[in-house]
């Protein structure tokens, strides 16, 4: 079953892009049909994947505003044979223009992405949306197109600040629209043995309950190097801490999607599905 994950946090530098492109790469390396869409006009996903996005004429902008453009037309080729099942729609600064055009379309403007993804859902197992560092129209489009919002929280003194507001805003949006929501927190730049890392972990656990991923992404020098090498970690440094952590996160994500499938198929008897995908419905903290 296809799942759309929006990777979002209005704060910059928390690991949205690193998480989006490495989760997408890990999933593709496992043979899962994966689509990565860059929704940030800064185009950092493309940078991390070795693509010069500046001259591109067909990008996420077309996906949002041009009804005639298809994901197949817009996806760019990536050089790694191991990632043959990964499709990538890049962004560049032109995407900032979409913001204004979507604003003029009233409520329907917020559903532009959801509408476009609906047509191609069946072609993919995972669709990952890398959001900009703001609660803009682009981010709203991502929320309304997604089944899960993954909020990366980077360890730091102010890191948990603002996350509660984001989670509450999300809850309001989903309640207003009547959509089901699954909001999960991922701690990034974690350092074992460091007090502030432990404190952020505790705060996130309190806020999200079981909706905080068990996997944390450790602070790892290879992450910065992989950005420099414009290559995902599973290719450039598959044994480094962060690469192993992203693999563990993908295990968790795949396990969650299995739960959803079982729920939909009703495999586990009458009441099995009512508890939610992973039996943790009652512990939703936000």
Ligand X SMILES: Nc1ncnc2c1ncn2[C@@H]1O[C@H](COP(=O)(O)OP(=O)(O)O)[C@@H](O)[C@H]1O
Could you list the residues that contact ligand X (CB under 6 A)? 12-18, 44, 133, 188-189, 217, 219-220, 223-224, 227, 242
Distance of closest approach, residue 157 Cβ to ligand X, in angstroms: 16
Spatial contact of 44 and 68, defined as CB atoms under 8 Å apart = no
Would you state the structure tokens that stand for residue 149, as one six-digit string? 């919002």
Measured from the CB atom, the residue of 215 and 257 that comes closer to ligand X is 215
Would you state the structure tokens that stand for residue 232, as one six-digit string? 């995902």
Separation CA 12–CA 131 (nearest Å): 10
Task: Give Cα 178 distance to the centre of its chain.
Answer: 21
Distance of closest approach, residue 21 Cβ to ligand X, in angstroms: 8
Binding mask 43-62 for Mg ion (x = CB under 5 A): -x------------------
Residues 132-191 binding Mg ion (CB under 5 A) are none
Q: Which does 285 bind (CB under 5 to 8 A by kind): Mg ion, ligand X, none?
A: none
Residue closest to Mg ion, measured at CB: 17
How many Å is the Cα radius of gyration of the chain? 18
Distance of closest approach, residue 223 Cβ to ligand X, in angstroms: 4
Separation CA 228–CA 215 (nearest Å): 25
Spatial contact of 248 and 254, defined as CB atoms under 8 Å apart = no
Cβ neighbours, 10 Å, residue 243: 24
Q: Which does 188 bind (CB under 5 to 8 A by kind): ligand X, Mg ion, none?
A: ligand X
Distance of closest approach, residue 13 Cβ to ligand X, in angstroms: 4
Measured from the CB atom, the residue of 12 and 266 that comes closer to ligand X is 12
Strand partners, 34: 86, 126
């Amino acid at each position: 079953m296809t799942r759309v994950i929006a990777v979002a946090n209005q704060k910059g530098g928390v690991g949205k892009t690193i998480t989006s492109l490495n989760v997408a790469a890990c999933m593709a390396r496992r043979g899962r049909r994966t689509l990565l869409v860059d929704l940030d006009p800064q185009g950092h996903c493309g940078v991390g994947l070795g693509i010069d996005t500046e001259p591109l004429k067909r990008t996420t902008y077309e996906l949002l505003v041009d009804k005639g453009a298809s994901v197949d037309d817009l996806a760019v080729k990536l050089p790694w044979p191991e990632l043959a099942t990964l499709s990538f729609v890049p962004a560049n600064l032109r995407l900032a223009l979409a913001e204004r055009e979507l604003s003029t379309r009233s409520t329907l403007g917020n559903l532009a992405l959801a509408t476009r993804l609906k047509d191609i859902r069946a072609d993919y197992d995972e669709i990952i949306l890398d959001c900009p560092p703001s609660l803009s129209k682009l981010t709203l489009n991502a929320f309304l197109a997604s089944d899960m919002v993954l909020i990366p929280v980077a360890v730091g003194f102010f890191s948990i600040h603002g996350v509660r507001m984001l989670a509450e805003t999300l809850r309001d949006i989903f309640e207003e629209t009547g959509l089901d929501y699954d909001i999960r927190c991922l701690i990034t730049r974690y350092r074992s043995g460091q007090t502030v890392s432990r404190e952020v972990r505790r705060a996130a656990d309190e806020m999200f309950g079981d909706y905080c991923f068990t996997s944390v992404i450790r602070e790892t020098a290879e992450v910065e190097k992989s950005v420099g090498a414009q290559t995902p970690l599973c290719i450039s440094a598959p044994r480094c801490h962060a690469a192993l952590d992203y693999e563990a996160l993908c295990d968790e994500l795949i396990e969650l999607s299995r739960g959803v499938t079982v729920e939909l198929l009703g495999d586990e008897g009458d009441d099995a599905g009512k508890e939610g995908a992973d039996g943790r419905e009652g512990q939703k903290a936000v």
